[in-house]
Amino acid sequence: MQKLLFSTLFFFGSWQFAIAQCDSLLTFRPIHIQGLLDGQPGNFSGLLLLKSMAGVALEVNSTPLEDEAGGQLLPNERISLSAQTLSIGAGKTGSLLYSVEGASMPGDYTGLLEVSQKGGSCHWEIPVTVGLNRKDQIQILENGQALSLKTVAPSWLNFILPASIRQEGINFRVENEGPTSVTMDSFSLALIGETTHAALTETFVNWENADKNLHANELELLSFRFQPDKGEKLRADQYQGELRVYFKDYPEPLSLPLTVSARAGSFWVIVTLLLGILLGRLIKDLNKAQGQIALMRRLVSLRAEVELLSDKLAQKQLWDELSRLETDINGVFSDEAKLEVENKFPPLEKKIQQARELEALFERMGEQFKTAEASAEEKQQASQQFRLVRDMVLDGKETEAMEGLKKLDDMISAQAEKSKGFFDELAAPAAEAMKRQFAKMVQSLQGEGPGQQEGKEPGMMEKFFFQAMQLLSGVKISARVRYGFIRPLVTLATFIVLLLLGLNEIYIQAGDTFGSEGLLDYLKVFLWGVVSDVFSRSLTTDDAVASFLGK
């Protein structure tokens, strides 16, 4: 038993020693050949380098190559070696050319190259792999093998834009038409802007494909996504160039002609368009309100004249009439309405004129009765005549007021002697002029201007309930609801329509590279907003709104 164990150990040790001696005698690397078939049988070669530290003589034999996946075989007749024997000196390196001839079928072939030591026991098996691919094995399945896409610089308002102009990456399909797998290694992107000559490179995108293998006869989607942090540096322009994908052991990259149209973000475009629309609305309102402006000029001059009156009662009533007239002016939007309001000015102007004449007579009467003597009856008659004329003036009785003013003037002229004490009785309204001015200033500071209508305004819930009940019961909508709710709603709707039309006409449809021309592009949007009522007059005219409201 001990002899058997000793013999086994001796044999195993000798075998291990022989293997170690063979490994140190010859060193080499596996043979790998990659070929590309162009439709005709081809020859493909690979170089084998052998190095020996002690020197050795070798015999070389090939074995068939087999593609296990495709069931193809390359027999020994298709394999040629540059030499069947090889001698390598100590510390020298020898070479052997391994060739495959007449190969016509693609596949991943594997086999062995057997190397034996002449006159020795060493034997080596060198792995051989031959990968044969068809030329143009990888095909792009897009229109004309070219790709065009549109993108937008980052903005928090981009969600309102159509998806067709805010593509977030480069996506295209490729197909591996060969029987062998291909491994994608890297990619490059080189695009140049037509206007700015800015560069768009691979630093702007991320390769999203986790699996870089294109398996045999497989369709795959390649996806490259724009980096959000790089989007702000992407200048508005149209970029043209190529995207190339490189494969391991593949002689040529996959090249895709690419056009990227980049435009500025939507935030400042919308802001500019809003400013243009607002300015256009202001201009339009000013044009429509020319009649109001002319009437307000006359109203302001009348207000200034009423301010000069010292009679508190007359002034208050005239303030009320001016306030009602201003309300009428606010409703002037046509020539007919302007003419109607203009007809209300002459009577009021006449009242103010007569009120001022009456105050002038009052001052004259005060001065006259200061220096002249008059009886109590004359004083009472003059005072009564003054109040009577004031009532006529405020009631709009123009003829009677003129006659009363003449009579009062005659009474004052008839006084030739001085009178004392009567001025204090008649001049009470004049003495309160300064107090009135002070009170008026206090009222203006407190927001209680003259002519302000009194009355409690209905609450929000009360008004809403009232309007809802009117709608449900079929009662005709009141003017307050029509012009306080429906008209603003229609105005808001047309405003939104104009905004969307401007975005579509200037920014979306005609602006693949919006922003590349700088301020001029934004000026187009601004001017569109200013003159937007020209393009959509049917939406914004008073006649259309009135027709919708049933006016």
Is 312 contained in some domain?
A: yes
Residues 209, 184 contacting (CB under 8 angstroms): yes
Of 240, 263, 286, the residue at which a domain comes to its end is 263
- CATH, residue 32: 2.60.40.10
116 has which bridge partners? 59, 123
- Beta-strand relationship, 147-152 and 199-201: unpaired
pLDDT of residue 326: 85
Is 291 contained in some domain?
A: no
| Number of domain units in the chain | 4
Domain check: are 315 and 434 in the same one? yes
Which of 40-44, 107-111, 506-510 is the least confident region?
506-510
3-state secondary structure 387-443: HHHHHHHHHCCHHHHHHHHHHHHHHHHHCCCECCCHHHHHCHHHHCHHHHHHHHHHH
Residues 351, 306 contacting (CB under 8 angstroms): no
Separation CA 33–CA 47 (nearest Å): 9
Whether the pLDDT of residue 429 is over 60: the answer is no
User: DSSP code of 456?
Assistant: P
Consecutive H or E run containing 192: strand 182-193
Segment of 72-76, 140-144, 463-467 carrying the highest mean pLDDT: 72-76
156-180 per-position pLDDT tens digit: 777 777 777 778 888 888 888 877 7
Quote the tokens at residue 104.
Answer: 């016509």
If you search the block for the tokens 């200048």, which residue do you land on?
235
Is 244 contained in some domain?
A: yes
Domain check: are 380 and 480 in the same one? no
Is 10 contained in some domain?
A: no
pTM for the full predicted model: 0.49
Exposure class string for 48-62: b at 16+ Cβ within 10 A, else e: bebebeeebebebeb
pLDDT band at 105 (very low <50, low <70, confident <90, very high): confident
pLDDT of residue 485: 66
Of 134, 156, 182, the residue at which a domain comes to its end is 134
Exposure class string for 199-215: b at 16+ Cβ within 10 A, else e: ebeeebbebeeeeeebe
If you search the block for the tokens 């001839």, which residue do you land on?
101
Please report, for residues 119, 167, 242, 506, 513, the alpha-carbon distance to residue 164 in angstroms, rounded to integers and kept in the order given. 76, 6, 21, 16, 14
Can you say whether the dihedral through the CA atoms of 499, 503, 506, 509 is positive or negative? Answer: negative
Separation CA 364–CA 370 (nearest Å): 10
Dihedral of the CA atoms 404, 410, 411, 412 (nearest 10)?
A: 110
Domain check: are 499 and 539 in the same one? yes
Kindly report each contact of residues 228-231 with a partner whose C-beta sits within 8 Å and lies 24 or more positions away, as own/partner.
228/154, 230/203, 230/204, 231/151, 231/153, 231/154, 231/204
Of 158, 278, 282, 264, the C-alpha closest to 519 is 264
Domain check: are 70 and 163 in the same one? no
pLDDT of residue 304: 84
Of 84, 178, 75, 96, the C-alpha closest to 135 is 178
Whether the pLDDT of residue 279 is over 60: the answer is yes
Can you say whether the dihedral through the CA atoms of 467, 487, 546, 538 is positive or negative? Answer: negative
75-88 per-position pLDDT tens digit: 988 999 988 898 88
Of 181, 316, 345, the C-alpha closest to 250 is 181
Residues 263, 152 contacting (CB under 8 angstroms): yes
Is 298 contained in some domain?
A: no
Domain check: are 25 and 56 in the same one? yes
Quote the tokens at residue 129.
Answer: 């792999």
Of 92, 118, 134, the residue at which a domain comes to its end is 134
Is 473 contained in some domain?
A: yes
Is 419 contained in some domain?
A: yes
Domain check: are 514 and 432 in the same one? no
pLDDT of residue 159: 77
Domain check: are 72 and 102 in the same one? yes
pLDDT band at 416 (very low <50, low <70, confident <90, very high): very low
Domain check: are 439 and 499 in the same one? no
- Beta-strand relationship, 182-193 and 237-247: antiparallel
Is 7 contained in some domain?
A: no
Longest CA–CA span in the chain (Å) reads: 174
Give me the domain span that covers residue 413: 308-445
Domain check: are 320 and 436 in the same one? yes
Please report, for residues 143, 169, 237, 248, 313, the alpha-carbon distance to residue 259 in angstroms, rounded to integers and kept in the order given. 13, 12, 10, 27, 81
13-49 per-position pLDDT tens digit: 444 444 556 777 888 899 999 888 876 788 999 998 8
Which of 164-173, 192-201, 337-346, 487-496 is the least confident region?
487-496
Domain check: are 480 and 510 in the same one? yes
97 has which bridge partners? 47
Segment of 72-76, 279-283, 299-303, 522-526 carrying the highest mean pLDDT: 72-76
3-state secondary structure 22-67: HHHHCEECCEEEEEEECCCCEEEEEEEEEEECCCEEEEEEECCEEE
Mean pLDDT of 411-421: 53
Whether the pLDDT of residue 67 is over 80: the answer is yes
Domain check: are 414 and 475 in the same one? no
Give the distance, in angstroms, between the CA of residue 345 and the centroid of all CA atoms in the same chain: 51
Separation CA 257–CA 485 (nearest Å): 56
Domain check: are 25 and 114 in the same one? yes
